Amino acid sequence: MTNIYRPTFEDGERPEGFRSRRARIGYELGTELIGASLWEVAPGEAAYPYHFHYADEELVIVLSGRPSLRTPEGVRELEEGEALRFPLGEEGAHQILNRSEETATFLAISSHGRPDVVVYPDSDKIGVGERLPRGGGLRAFFRRNDGVDYFEGERRSPD
């Protein structure tokens, strides 16, 4: 049984600046249409890059600490108990970082179970993927300027 007070954090080292810890509660429970992750973000680190989704709507609830939220409107400090919604598209661009002196913890809940396109404005990347109930599935990232024409490499079906 999964318990957010005794989370099972993912293994693996994250790069400097993004050394947060994530427990994938939804994967542990085998959810198919709802994602849920518990995040712990150390001082001076970010949970993830600045991004927005085209298919996954997200909701975040700050459980402890005072993380900061970056959106298209700028950066502001959050308080414990604050709940936030990140809508689809550019309007929902967000990043949670910790500029405080104490660890911050938040719960992120999202729709999932269908393919998604994620845009990373800072690095001008696009991510495509699907989240399967037990993990895995399609997951790839591309630089936007590497785009090709729709018919690039295509040919008429052989006779």
- What b/e string do you get for 6-21 counting C-beta neighbours within 10 Å, with b at 16 or more? ebeeeeeeeeeeeebb
pLDDT in tens, 64-105: 999 999 999 999 999 999 999 999 999 999 999 999 999 999
145 assigned to some structural domain: no
* Total domains, the chain: 1
153 assigned to some structural domain: no
Q: What is the pLDDT of residue 5?
A: 92
The model's pTM is: 0.90
Residue at 92: amino acid letter: G
Count of beta carbons in the 10 Å neighbourhood of residue 149: 7
| CATH code of the domain containing 66 | 2.60.120.10
159 assigned to some structural domain: no
Are 86 and 58 contacting, i.e. CB atoms less than 8 angstroms apart? yes
